Amino acid sequence: MGTATPPAGDVATFRFSTDDYSERERLTAWREIFGRTVCSLDIEPLAADRFRSDSTIYARPGLGVLAGSCSAVHLSHSKDLIIDDDLSFMTGSMPKWTASQLGRNPVLGPCDGVLMSNAEVGSMVLPETAEFITFKVPVKAIAPLVPDVGALIARRVPRESQALRLLVRYLGALREEGTLQTAELQSLAVTHVYDLFALALGATREAAEIANGRGVRAARLRAIKMDLAANLGRAELSINTLAARHGVTPRYVQMLFELDGTTFSQFLLGQRLALAYRMLTGPRSGDRSIGSIALDVGFNDLSYFNRTFRRRYGATPSDVRAAART
């Protein structure tokens, strides 16, 4: 319902936290700034004296994403707050939460999702403090991809849905990577979200075929890259271990990187060398030996590390460290 509309002006990212306000002002600020200006929602905390919220909005044409956390709350989208017919979707860690719209009242669990219409009166109850992610898209962008999208409003989308899990990961990657560099990349990312969203709701056969060759591939590649970046220090990191973790074949992983213009090995080497460079030039590793840094980023062979580092940066690790110190 009415989520993630950017504030006035050309703003890509907007953060709101009740911590920025005094205890007396935080609830009013959250209701007026966050509820009315950003989300078109009436907000009623279930425990006003202990209320807290922290959220970040990422907005692009055709997509608004809001991720954050809040205390227990009742959210309602009343008739006077209806300003468009966009579709909104929410999922999160809430252990038990409810939604209500069009006479449907699904009871939801952690990581379940629910589709809501901004053109209808509705409400949600989040009875416990929880982290969540919600986004909104134009109905005209999703309706052609999903048979009878109206029949899916206020219906549970189960957490077991692979497309839902990929969608959440992809939205998280977009948020963590920050603003995409070009309008073309931004538009492509929005298209990928539409693909994954349609699959999670139940896409038509034609839309599913397109999405599996476009949005799913992009989401899997981002998820694998993030996994790889988080585990660079593991010398045993391999295409086989990553493929197994993500439920795909090693050949499929290799294909994803090839379509991205590189190979798995080249990407892994580049990420390890880049991390080593940051450590060599950063103040936190000033007393570390080059050998220990190489080991920490996944190199077992120091001579190979030195050779590939010099090939990549045109200088030895020792030279780079010395230059950074001066």
Instruction: Specify the CATH number for the domain of residue 290.
Output: 1.10.10.60
What sign does the dihedral 192-194-199-205 (CA atoms) show? negative
pLDDT at 4: 43
Q: In sequence order, what are the beta bridge partners of 54? A: 17, 69
Q: Are strands 113-117 and 63-70 parallel, antiparallel or unpaired?
A: unpaired
Q: Are strands 122-126 and 130-137 parallel, antiparallel or unpaired?
A: unpaired
Q: What is the DSSP letter of 134?
A: E
- Tally the C-alpha atoms within 13 A of residue 62's C-alpha that lie toward its C-beta: 13
Whether residues 201 and 106 share a domain: the answer is: yes
In a domain, 159, yes or no: yes
Whether residues 189 and 285 share a domain: the answer is: no
Whether residues 71 and 215 share a domain: the answer is: yes
Helix (H), strand (E), coil (C) string for 15-38: EEEHHHCCCCCHHHHHHHHHHHHH
Whether residues 278 and 180 share a domain: the answer is: no
In a domain, 233, yes or no: no
| C-alpha span between 26 and 29 (Å, rounded) | 5
Whether residues 167 and 309 share a domain: the answer is: no
Whether residues 36 and 182 share a domain: the answer is: yes
Which of 222, 251, 286 lies at the terminal end of a domain, its last residue? 222
Residue at token pair 């990191």: 237
In single-letter form, the type of residue at position 190 comes to V
Whether residues 180 and 279 share a domain: the answer is: no
| C-alpha span between 163 and 159 (Å, rounded) | 9
In a domain, 254, yes or no: no
Q: Closest Cα partner for 40 from 32, 48, 49?
A: 32
Whether residues 158 and 278 share a domain: the answer is: no
pLDDT at 284: 79
In a domain, 4, yes or no: no
Instruction: Specify the CATH number for the domain of residue 125.
Output: 2.60.120.10
In a domain, 257, yes or no: no
Which of 196, 222, 248 lies at the terminal end of a domain, its last residue? 222
pLDDT tens, 74-106? Answer: 999 999 989 899 999 999 999 999 999 999 999
pLDDT at 181: 58
Q: Closest Cα partner for 133 from 189, 178, 192, 174?
A: 174
Whether residues 139 and 202 share a domain: the answer is: yes
Residue at token pair 């077991």: 160
pLDDT at 176: 67
| C-alpha span between 249 and 252 (Å, rounded) | 5
Q: Closest Cα partner for 91 from 180, 166, 11?
A: 166
pLDDT at 255: 86
In a domain, 236, yes or no: no
Its domain, for residue 286, covers: 266-325
Q: Which residues of the chain have pLDDT under 70?
A: 1-12, 37-38, 48, 176-182
In a domain, 165, yes or no: yes
Whether residues 106 and 194 share a domain: the answer is: yes
pLDDT at 116: 96
pLDDT at 28: 83
| C-alpha span between 281 and 295 (Å, rounded) | 17
Number of domains observed in the structure of the chain: 2
Whether residues 64 and 148 share a domain: the answer is: yes
Which of 187, 222, 257 lies at the terminal end of a domain, its last residue? 222
pTM over 0.85: no
Whether residues 24 and 155 share a domain: the answer is: yes
In a domain, 251, yes or no: no
In single-letter form, the type of residue at position 164 comes to L
